[in-house]
Chain A
Amino acid sequence: MLYTVLSPYLFTDETTILPKGGDPSTNRPKRSHHQPGWVRGHQKDGGDYSKEMPKYITAGGFARARAAEVKAMLKAVTKRPASCHVFETLPKHMRRRAMSHNTKRLPRRLRLMKKKEQTRSKSRKARRRHGNLLLEFNRRQRKNIWLETHIWHAKRFHMVKKWGYCLGDRPTYKCYRPCYRAMSSHCLLQDLSYYCCIELQGEEDRLLTGLSQLTSKEAGPTFAAALCLSGRRQGSVVVYRAGQYPSQPLGPVTFLWRPRTQGSTHRQLWIWAHPTLKQDLLAELRSVCDCSEAVVPVVVPEPSPAEVTPTVDSEPKPKTTPGAKRKRSSKDQSGPPAKKILGDGTRSPTTPVTWKSSSSTTVINDLTMEIIRYRLIGPQSHTVITEAFEAATSCDPSSLWWPEHCKDENKMHLHQQQADVFHLLKGIFSTAELPPGTILGLTVDDPRLTLPTKKVKALPCEKRRELVLSGVSEHCCQSFLWDRSVRDNVIDNKISEQELNRMRSEVLVPGSRLPVPPQGRVPVLLVHQPGKQVGHEMSSWGAGWDLLLPKGWGMAFWVPLVYRGVRIGGLNMSLKHSQNKSAPHFPHDYPDCPAGVHFQEEQEAELLDKFKRRPPAKRTNYIKHGCLAPFCCPWQQLAEEWEHITREGGEEREGAGRSRTTTEADTVMEGRWRPLVRIIRTHSSLRLLSGWCKPTTSKGQRACRLRLPPPSLDLSAVKSFLTSHRMTLVWVRLSLLSGGKPELHGIVCVPTSEDLKQLKASKKAAAPSLPSDKTVEKETELSSASDPNIPITSSSPLDLVLGLWPDPLPSVASHCSRLTLGWVTQGDFSLSAGCGEALGFVSVPGLLNTLQNQPMEHRGTVLLRNPTSLQYRFAKINTRSEPMHKFSYCQ
């Protein structure tokens, strides 16, 4: 071995000291931060070569470089490889039998580490003890709140952490098609408890005036829609920031009003919103309702101090003394476990949940995690519900809420009516027969009492097809779930699972039904969810029921439902559900909302990360595929470019002597103005657009039969439309005419006239043979050879990802051989339509421009290309998108 004492330059350089030096030292910490420890192979950020390189090095810098290296090496050497025991660090000849059993067999220097390892993990038995388990659960949901069905889900699902919750994404077993089948023929169950409920109380007109600032009549029925206001239907609106109607949307919400009580104008409203938009929505609501006074949270839940105190206690200090632990767990045995009734994931425990108005009686309550929401999707969901639940039976009076109610004649009468409607439900053929959004209040017995011993599939018993409800009358929509006192009573007096099992074991004939204990009545709300309302095939596919429960009863209702043979879906399935239903899904399909923008950023980072994990040679070369932005959709840029293109086109058509300089000046002005991109949600505009697009069924077969002649698409109409809708996008559904499966961020393009000719010639052919964009490939290859080289040399090589366009994107609209109209935000083979279907956005000026240049028989045909493919596919465009609002017209 060769050992050099010191390298020769050490002596020479040591003497020279320059103030400029120390570059290695400045670089060093950055690198160690970037790639900690031991790095193998080439180090990319080995220095900025061309820039500030020191002419000489100082002794200090030299020493620092060595020191940093030593540190990195030390870290690498001392680090144990993951998942290995202490004794595995020993060389083999020093290992002994049963070292993990007897610590003394280890060398003395390792005993300490071993000891540490042992103390960290208590015995399994100790860890699984109830109190310790609860503590552990509490610790683990400090960051992300668990739903009540979390443990059930965690055993069966891939869990993801999203929006401050732990949610099941997709089951670990294969069930894509079974879930679809369940949705279309039986029932699929989802836990939507992570949706946030905001309660508004106050005078009706005051509430309505406040809420009217958030919505507009142009975009469909608002909070004041008569049917919804009466409390018979659930409504759905897109909420905007106060008074900002066409711009600054927040996102879609659903809402339900509590039916009026006689002679009172005091109303109660529940707004259900996605957790990502909750904070914004809450702020807006507080501002429009003047509810600025926050009520201290300790004061609010006075009806149930017994239940609140453990939650408050357990949150800030999970590590209590052993004595306190025991006390806590004994308390938990009486009621539902404390960890399950914690607040919610989007706020800290000390933030107030109630806001009062100083001027009026309006009160805003944040009921997040207070109400559980289960969604049953599928035509047989009513069967599952009627099988699983029974309307509450009356019982002897006692102090509990239900016996109290039994004394009241009126209330019993109401309950009888509700139970009658519930029995009628058994008779209907499909869930979709009901008017969409129907609400039914009900009180049911504890469903655990009627739990079947084996899992059975709930099947419709009698098929009296003809019975269709004309909706539920208004007073039947009343439920005691609206009352906080009743809710708290129900939650406090829940029979624990343990108690129930004891009762079961004491029954004389094993397996016979238990008598209903007095506390086993739960008020619930059933809310009908409309199915597919656009397009012509599979109409009202995916209709179902939402079940609203008081908190704490989650598992008690979940298991009985599961025992009725439903499938369980996760987040993934709810995305597929809305996709098959052709409804926009929040936050994926709301790129103009803050939550949507945030989601897009997250998605981009995730996809980019995934992409970068592949070695460069194995990556898709998106430059070669002519795909500028495979991971995100630069809507803003697209809209701006189309603005520009249409303006230029218009000027050419005018043929006036205007020079191009004015256009440029215009664009410069526009560049300064930079309006944000908007999405059209106005009903009249959407109807006009869809008329122009000649909406057909997704395959374009039964096209013109049903339809009136489409409104004429003349220049002036288009022009006036465009002036009122600048910088807009529109949500479209695309269905492929032939094979092909659209994917995320596929490119929607304008077909040229030759393409359309080809389509006409080979109409019967399965796949239109399109140019597999070789020219594009060459062009981009050339450009990638010339253009991006400049950024390579100029910018640091870190910013550049091989296979992707460098950051300032060139023109996105005219990048490929075909003009880009928009991108796909969701795409898959649609099992309900039987062809590839995609949902996405296109630029409105671009779309109109395209439609104008297309012949009548091919109007609304566009090209679709996946980011990883060169093959274009023909697709039919369809812009009708008022899915959730239709119910207001049907009656």
Chain B
Amino acid sequence: MVRIKSRHLLCEINVTDRNCLLLLDDRAVLAAVKDTVLRMHGDYGAAPLCFLCVFLVKYLNAHTGIVFLRFPKNCYKLLWSALPFITSIESRGHKISCFFNCLHVGGTIRTCQKFLIRYNTQQLHRMLPKCKNEEEKQEIRQAILNCSLLRGKKEAFEEASESEEDEEE
């Protein structure tokens, strides 16, 4: 199809203090990436970022620190190479020291989502044997169970939406 091709980087923001994670917002991340790229690659590197429709933070989860970055396809490697140099993000007057950890590079958001599902479940599974006490174990087990959309539930959900559609007529 004819479209602007881009790459989606699924990154994890690692911070020392977990509380700071909640302070993050997409603009802060955007600004931090821009700064670093400018520092590393100069105007040449920063130029592709000026097209805001291509360079975006598509998703940011402040609880898990997962962020989707969208870069133009032709120069994503250049931009990617600047990411390790991010040491801090300035958000709401706080300076959050952190580093980016790129987990996945995908062509569409969908592949990134699919990867994230796999990755997160994998992590939960790895946590399970390392639990210290029974209560913890139970919680994590519950979380793993929550990870899947139940078949029956899903259908119920779809049915509900259908009936709503019907009412609209």
User: Is B126 close to A, CB under 8 A?
Assistant: yes
Contact of B147 among A49, A53, A71 (CB under 8 A): A71
Contact B64 A65, beta carbon cutoff 8 Å = yes
- CB A573 to nearest CB in B, in angstroms, measures 24
List CB contacts (< 8 Å) of B107-154 with chain A.
Answer: 110, 113-114, 116-117, 120-121, 123-124, 126-127, 130-132, 135-136, 139-140, 143-144, 146-149, 154
Tell whether A77 pairs with B114 under 8 Å between CB atoms, given A4-B12, A63-B140.
yes
Q: Mark A40-83, 1 if CB is under 8 A from B, else 0.
A: 11110011010001111111101111111111011111100000
List, in ascending order, chain B residues with CB within 8 A of A515's CB: none
Instruction: Count how many chain B residues have C-beta atoms less than 8 Å from C-beta atoms of the other chain.
Output: 56
Answer whether residue B38 sits at the interface, using C-beta atoms and an 8 A cutoff.
Answer: no
Instruction: Compute how far the CA of A17 lies from the CA of B149 in the bound complex, rounded to whole angstroms.
Output: 29
User: How far apart are the CA atoms of A258 and B63 in the complex, in Å?
Assistant: 72
Interchain CB contact under 8 A, B136 and A64: no
Taking a contact as CB atoms closer than 8 A, the residue among B25, B110, B147 that contacts A77 in the complex is B110
A143 within 8 Å of B (CB atoms): yes
Q: Out of B12, B104, B146, name the residue touching A67 (CB < 8 Å).
A: B146
Q: How far is the CB of B152 from chain A (nearest CB, A)?
A: 14
Assuming A7-B12, A8-B14, A140-B169, is B116 touching A69 (CB within 8 A)?
Answer: yes
- Are the C-beta atoms of B63 and A7 separated by less than 8 Å? no
B149 touches A59 (CB 8 A): no
Report if B3 contacts A (CB, 8 A): no
Instruction: Pick the contact of A70: B14, B16, B117 (CB < 8 A).
Output: B117
Interface string of B38-65 (1 = CB under 8 A from A): 0000000000000000001111111110
Residue contact A41 to B127, C-beta cutoff 8 Å: no
Chain B residues whose CB sits within 8 angstroms of the CB of A47 once the complex forms: 22, 62-63
> How many Å from the CB of B150 to the closest CB on chain A?
10
Determine if A2 and B127 form an interchain contact, defined as CB atoms under 8 angstroms apart: no
A176 at the interface (CB under 8 A from B): no
Question: Separation in Å of the A279 CB from the closest CB of chain B?
Answer: 23
A139 surroundings in chain B (CB, below 8 A)? 166
The distance in angstroms between the C-alpha atoms of A49 and B92, with both chains bound, is 10
Known contacts A69-B64, A69-B116, A41 near B132 by CB under 8 Å: no
Are B62 and A66 in touch, CB under 8 angstroms? no
Binary B-proximity of A138-167 (CB < 8 A = 1, otherwise 0): 011001000000000000000000000000
Within the complex, the shortest CB–CB distance from A553 to chain B, in Å, comes to 26
Give the A interface residue count (CB, 8 A): 53
In the complex, A671 Cα to B57 Cα: how many Å?
Answer: 51
The answer to whether B60 touches A9 (Cβ under 8 A) is no
Residues of B within 8 A of A9 (CB): 14-16, 18
- A53 engages B19 (CB within 8 Å): yes
Minimal beta-carbon separation of B96 from chain A (angstroms): 12
Q: Would you call A172 an interface residue if the criterion is a C-beta within 8 Å of the partner chain's C-beta atoms? A: no
B: residues with CB less than 8 A from A are: 12, 14-16, 18-19, 22-27, 56-64, 66, 92, 101-105, 110, 113-114, 116-117, 120-121, 123-124, 126-127, 130-132, 135-136, 139-140, 143-144, 146-149, 154, 166-167, 169
Could you show 22 A-B contacts with beta carbons less than 8 Å apart? A2-B101, A9-B16, A14-B127, A38-B113, A41-B60, A42-B57, A46-B24, A47-B22, A54-B18, A55-B19, A59-B127, A59-B131, A63-B143, A64-B139, A64-B146, A65-B63, A69-B63, A69-B64, A70-B120, A70-B121, A78-B149, A140-B166
- By Cβ-Cβ distance, the 8 closest A-B pairs, closest first, are A60-B139, A63-B143, A42-B26, A47-B22, A67-B143, A46-B62, A65-B63, A67-B146
**B-binding residues in A (CB < 8 A):** 1-10, 13-15, 17, 24, 27-28, 38-43, 46-47, 49, 53-60, 62-71, 73-78, 139-140, 143
Q: What 13 additional pairs, Cβ within 8 angstroms, besides A64-B139, A66-B120, A66-B143? A: A4-B103, A14-B130, A15-B132, A41-B58, A42-B57, A54-B19, A58-B136, A59-B131, A59-B140, A71-B147, A74-B147, A74-B148, A77-B117
